[in-house]
């Protein structure tokens, strides 16, 4: 029983932190999509699936290498840089470019159609990529979970631990479904795109600085 409750409670207790750290990316992306309840649920599900993949990937690494986080400083910096640059790129590709409001004269109709097609293809790939990158956030509860895993569990045990940890955190994301209720307001999509631009700029800057630090100082 403890083996089931402990990871779930650890995840639930840290879910608010997960919400805060994922919010800048997830909320603008969902709002910019302007999807209905079902599609919003699909996008949120794709994001959470990506997060779960990130969690399980780290669980496998932690078990296989017997690693206990935090990682050495250069690796931490490299992970931080990759995550933030990736999130910035994903936001721009998924939330901004396909949905940037723009007049489309007849001569530009093919470009508009290309953007719409891009939006459809990125429909789940974008949120899943954002979820994967967000799932690599080395927050203290995540590190605590990794320490438990690194204490010699079997691989199924490690994966199960992080799966339950993930379920505990994922409960906090259910209210994001409410974004679907705002889809009838065109202004919400405009604001969401603008929010995504600001967040992408900030994350891009943070990632670039972190990467520069890693390259210069090792």
Rule CB under 8 A: which residues touch another protein? 20-21, 23-24, 27-28, 101, 187, 190-195, 197-199, 202, 205, 209
- Quickly list DSSP for 23-89: HHHHHHHHHHHT--HHHHHHHHHHHHHHHHHHHHHHHHHHHHHT--SSPPHHHHHHHHHHHHHHHHH
Q: Which is nearer to another protein, 25 or 62 (CB)?
A: 25
Q: Which is nearer to another protein, 28 or 123 (CB)?
A: 28
Closest CB 155 distance from another protein, rounded Å: 32
Q: Which is nearer to another protein, 28 or 141 (CB)?
A: 28
Look at the block and give the residue holding tokens 């990125």. Answer: 122
Q: Which is nearer to another protein, 16 or 64 (CB)?
A: 16
* H-assigned helices in 136-185: 140-149, 155-170
Closest CB 143 distance from another protein, rounded Å: 17
Closest CB 204 distance from another protein, rounded Å: 12
Closest CB 90 distance from another protein, rounded Å: 16
- Tally of helices (H runs) and strands (E runs) in the chain: 7, 0
């Amino acid at each position: 029983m403890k083996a089931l409750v402990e990871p779930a409670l650890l995840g639930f207790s840290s879910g608010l932190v997960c919400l805060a750290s994922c919010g800048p990316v997830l909320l603008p992306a969902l709002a910019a999509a302007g999807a209905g309840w079902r599609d919003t649920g699909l996008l949120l599900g794709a994001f959470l699936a990506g997060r779960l993949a990130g969690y399980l990937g780290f669980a496998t690494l932690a078990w296989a290498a017997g690693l206990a986080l935090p990682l050495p400083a250069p690796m931490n910096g490299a992970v931080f840089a990759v995550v933030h640059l990736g999130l910035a790129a994903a936001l721009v590709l998924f939330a901004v470019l396909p949905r940037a409001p723009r007049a489309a004269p007849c001569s530009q109709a093919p470009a508009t159609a290309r953007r719409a097609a891009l939006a459809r293809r990125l429909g789940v790939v974008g949120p899943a990529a954002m979820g994967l990158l967000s799932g690599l956030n080395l927050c203290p509860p995540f590190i605590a979970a990794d320490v438990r895993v690194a204490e010699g569990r079997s691989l199924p045990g490690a994966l199960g631990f992080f799966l339950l940890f993930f379920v505990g955190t994922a409960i906090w994301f259910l209210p994001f479904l409410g974004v679907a209720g705002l889809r009838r307001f065109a202004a919400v999509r405009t604001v969401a795109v603008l929010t995504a631009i600001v967040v992408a700029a900030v994350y891009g800057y943070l990632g670039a600085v972190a990467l520069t630090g890693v390259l210069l100082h090792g």
